[in-house]
Structure 1
Amino acid sequence: MPIVPRPDPEFGLADIPPNPPVYYAEQALLGALLLDPHRIKTIGPLDPGRFASANHRALFAAMATLTAPPPDLHVKEPVWITAVLAHARPHARGLTPSYLHALAGACPDPAHAPAYARMVRSDHARRTVLMHAGHLVQAATDPGLPNPAAVTLRRADALTALLDHLASSFPSHPGSLPRTPPPAPQDHQEGPESAGEEQLLLSTAAAYPAALASMRWLRPEDFTTALYGGLYRCLTSLASRGEPVDKVTVLWEAQQNGLLTPAFGPQDVLELLDTPAGPPEHWGEQILRRALLRHAYLAGLHVQAFAQDLTNSPHQVITGSRRALAHLAGVRARWQHATGQPTAARPPVPASRAGPSHPRTSAPAASPRSSR
């Protein structure tokens, strides 16, 4: 029997997602510059890369490159629209004369072009922050990276440098904290080896407690298992008080700290602390590396939440993102101390991704008259 393919579900206009508000801001700005091309000098720093639409990027690039016609000629003949379309069409084949006329009709008032340009810059900043936050989350969770800590820190540096650059472009205002609720807690997937490494650290630190004095960079909250973090606090507390450290004294300290339960009794503590292997510093670095990646992952999720919320202004996105990254900075400082790595300088942000640049209105490559 022949197989009759099932018909695809009907796809109607209602299934097409609506354009975001910035799309209409871009249309209004381009319409203003088609109606009054000389207003490009009033819109402030802006370059084609800030536009979300590829067609709009091509049109603005043409407007920033061409020389505007004299006002009297612009009123009489469509030389400006003709020149812009001819210059942009090789880069955006879908452009038509009717769309350019529609852009002119989409502009409520050409005098409002500076406001439309601010909207374009603001949305581009939000999208750029969102992209860098995604890179940070990806690096913190990619098991295939040869050196995930180094890559993650470079991504965090790139995001921090971007936020610093954007902070100078968008003024502060009252209510600078984002209104976005924190993202729902998500488990950072830890491999099965994480608990084993934490157990090995506890047993080796109990056997060689002298190493604890040089491991102040490791903290109980770095452990993925809260119980093991509590046992590590018992170890460090005994060492800091100058008391003997072995598996029996740790057991007594665990009892005093309420760590013993019917599911985890005295014999479990003694067995856990009875399998030392390797130096404590090695296992401590492994635990701290996981904590670093976990904090980077959570910071990236928070920045993504701020940037995805369209009710946040650029300043609110910047402020909230900086606070999220501040929690990562403390773990990073301890990681660098543990591994003896110097603090790396923040990388520069490429101009095409960071902030706005002035359009090229001088030294035009073509003129409307030559494009007729």
Structure 2
Amino acid sequence: MPHAPEPDEDDLDAIAPPQPVFHVEQALLGALLLDPHRLDDVSGIAADSFSTAAHAALYAAITTLPRPDPAEHAKNTKWLDHVLTTARGQTRGLTASYLHTLIQVCPWPSHAPAYARMVEAEHARRRLQTAAEHLIHTAHDVSLPHSVQTVLAEADALAAVVDDIAARFPPRAGVLPRTTAPSPPTAPDPAEAAEEEQILLATATAYPCDINSVPWLLPDDLTLPLHAGLWQCLTALARRNEPIDPITVLWEAQQRGLLDDGSEPGEVLRMLAEPAGSVEHWGERALQRSLLAIAEHTGRRIEAYADDPANTPFQLVVGARRALADIAAVRTRWQHATGTAPPQRRRPAPTTRAGPPTTTAANAARSTRATR
């Protein structure tokens, strides 16, 4: 009769092996269980720094219970029993045999500070992962009433995590993540984005005097290469004070090679012939879409860095800060577009070095010396 597998037997092979940090946490807990006084050498971590609930509960018990007398601790397991009882209050499944396993797998209890630093580094990576995931989710949430403000708040929260990690692991110059950054995302609704961008281009062509009112809008804010190129044509013509209408824009597009991709001149002319609304309105819509896309891409870049265990905290800080710089740049343009830019702080007047005296007495003294 063929063997009938138990209900969960087939799932055992699917369980991923423990990550290196699991063994690091075991070594650290084993060192502290064997020599509780080594807790004085451990810093930078808390219970939530551990990757499993069992390890977190054990560390919380070790750090909250009074430490045993070293001589008594060497003779009996009373303190270990207290640790086990306290930890079981937070998580089930812990056994006395597991505590003894932790002690046995610890190579060198004196290396507890090094183990703690490794746990701290892995916790920093998980924190960065979580903050990046929150930013990505927020950038995708179309139900938010104030999407830009919420996304920027999440970006600030992510930046705060990066700053905290940098304070714990000061970045080293030139150490960049080796992880390949993901490709920029496409617009959530490409058809809507393309339609609004066409209206923007047509409205700017019909009302060229309004082009200079949106200096914060860049070609890269538009989702299609042809639209980005046509916006460059419009801004170039406006900068040169040349006539702007569908024909002059089409000619500028030809000079810039925008029609080399197969775009038909008639389609471009039809696109530029249907204005509606105002340049400022459609420009702000395009900038908002660009800001959300940049926020999502930033989150995915940082998430990719944090998902790679080969990246050190130093590399994560450098890579995350470079990615966050993109949000800072588009945030500044958004503030100018919406009139929400913070007021400029007046710099104090520079301190000047003391010059020669200009009093009448001083002038007279100089004249007297000159005649001698």
TM-score of the pair, normalised by structure 2: 0.87
Residue in structure 2 matched with residue 282 of structure 1 by the alignment: 281
- Aligned residues of 2:185 and 2:293 also touching (Cα < 8 A): no
Q: Please give the alpha-carbon distance, in whole angstroms, between the structure 1 residues aligned to 2:63 and 2:314.
A: 28
Residue in structure 1 matched with residue 191 of structure 2 by the alignment: 192
> Mean alpha-carbon deviation: is it higher for 97-106 or for 167-176?
167-176
Distance change in 2, residues 1:332/1:91 (3 Å) = same
SS at structure 2 position matched to 1:11: helix
Distance change in 2, residues 1:169/1:238 (3 Å) = same
2:330 matches 1:331: yes
The one of the two structures with greater contact order (alpha-carbon pairs below 8 A, sep at least 6) is 1
Q: How many residues align?
A: 339
- Give the aligned CA root-mean-square deviation in angstroms: 2.0
Residue in structure 1 matched with residue 124 of structure 2 by the alignment: 125
Measured against aligned partners, the alpha-carbon deviations of 1:47-84 in whole angstroms (never above 9, x if no partner) come to 11111110111111111111111111111121210111
Amino acid at match of 2:160: A
Give 1:202-351 correspondences, 5 Å limit.
202-261=201-260, 263-343=262-342
Q: Please give the alpha-carbon distance, in whole angstroms, between the structure 2 residues aligned to 1:258 and 1:340.
A: 36
Q: Please give the alpha-carbon distance, in whole angstroms, between the structure 1 residues aligned to 2:168 and 2:298.
A: 23
Structure 1 stretches lacking a partner, 5+ long: 1-6, 345-372
SS at structure 2 position matched to 1:180: coil
SS at structure 2 position matched to 1:183: coil
Q: Please give the alpha-carbon distance, in whole angstroms, between the structure 1 residues aligned to 2:79 and 2:7.
A: 45
Residue in structure 2 matched with residue 135 of structure 1 by the alignment: 134
Q: Please give the alpha-carbon distance, in whole angstroms, between the structure 1 residues aligned to 2:8 and 2:163.
A: 48
Amino acid at match of 1:317: L
Q: Please give the alpha-carbon distance, in whole angstroms, between the structure 1 residues aligned to 2:15 and 2:319.
A: 32
Structure 2 stretches lacking a partner, 5+ long: 1-5, 344-372
2:169 matches 1:166: no
SS at structure 2 position matched to 1:145: coil
Q: Please give the alpha-carbon distance, in whole angstroms, between the structure 1 residues aligned to 2:90 and 2:45.
A: 19
Give 1:1-40 correspondences, 5 Å limit.
11=10, 13-40=12-39
TM-score of the pair, normalised by structure 1: 0.87
In the TM superposition, residue 158 of structure 1 has moved relative to its aligned partner by 0.6
Q: Please give the alpha-carbon distance, in whole angstroms, between the structure 1 residues aligned to 2:293 and 2:307.
A: 21
Residue in structure 2 matched with residue 149 of structure 1 by the alignment: 148
In the TM superposition, residue 263 of structure 1 has moved relative to its aligned partner by 4.1
SS at structure 1 position matched to 2:259: coil
2:63 matches 1:64: yes
Residue in structure 2 matched with residue 354 of structure 1 by the alignment: none
Residue in structure 1 matched with residue 91 of structure 2 by the alignment: 92
Amino acid at match of 2:341: P
- Aligned residues of 2:57 and 2:91 also touching (Cα < 8 A): yes
Measured against aligned partners, the alpha-carbon deviations of 1:191-240 in whole angstroms (never above 9, x if no partner) come to 42100100000111111111111101001111001101111111110111
Q: Please give the alpha-carbon distance, in whole angstroms, between the structure 2 residues aligned to 1:120 and 1:11.
A: 32
In the TM superposition, residue 251 of structure 1 has moved relative to its aligned partner by 1.7
2:164 matches 1:183: no
Q: Please give the alpha-carbon distance, in whole angstroms, between the structure 2 residues aligned to 1:254 and 1:240.
A: 15
Residue in structure 1 matched with residue 355 of structure 2 by the alignment: none
> Mean alpha-carbon deviation: is it higher for 242-251 or for 210-219?
242-251
Q: Please give the alpha-carbon distance, in whole angstroms, between the structure 1 residues aligned to 2:49 and 2:13.
A: 29
> Mean alpha-carbon deviation: is it higher for 260-269 or for 17-26?
260-269
Distance change in 2, residues 1:9/1:50 (3 Å) = closer
- Aligned residues of 1:188 and 1:297 also touching (Cα < 8 A): no
In the TM superposition, residue 102 of structure 1 has moved relative to its aligned partner by 1.0
